[in-house]
Amino acid sequence: MAGINFIDENPYTPKLKFRKNMEEITIYKFQLETIIEALRITSNIHNSSKGETCYDRQVRQAYEYAKNALKGEKETEVPYMKGL
């Protein structure tokens, strides 16, 4: 359901906050795996692991969100500066 925070049994898992125009979509697992691989390669090519630029941090955050989605943890918030 779009825009609703779900309650988790673990209170230490950060949850997504309500975001304007947040809606749920469905894609195939292989599509998400391809996105994850493309973000990993992009990170390696541009040495994004240092997090020196906005681009680096955005690639890393997108990579983490995609990995979480693949694990079924789509409600988990990813900090902007989290490393790979």
Answer whether residue 56 is part of any domain: yes
Say how many domains are in the chain.
1
pTM of the entire predicted model:
0.70
Domain that holds residue 66: 29-70
Q: Going by C-beta distance under 8 Å and a sequence separation of 6 or more, which residues neighbour residue 64?
A: 78, 82, 84
Positions in the chain short of pLDDT 50: 1-9, 82-84
What angle do helix axes 54-70 and 29-45 make, rounded to 10 degrees?
Answer: 150
Strand partners, 57: none
Q: What is the pLDDT of residue 63?
A: 93
Answer whether residue 52 is part of any domain: yes
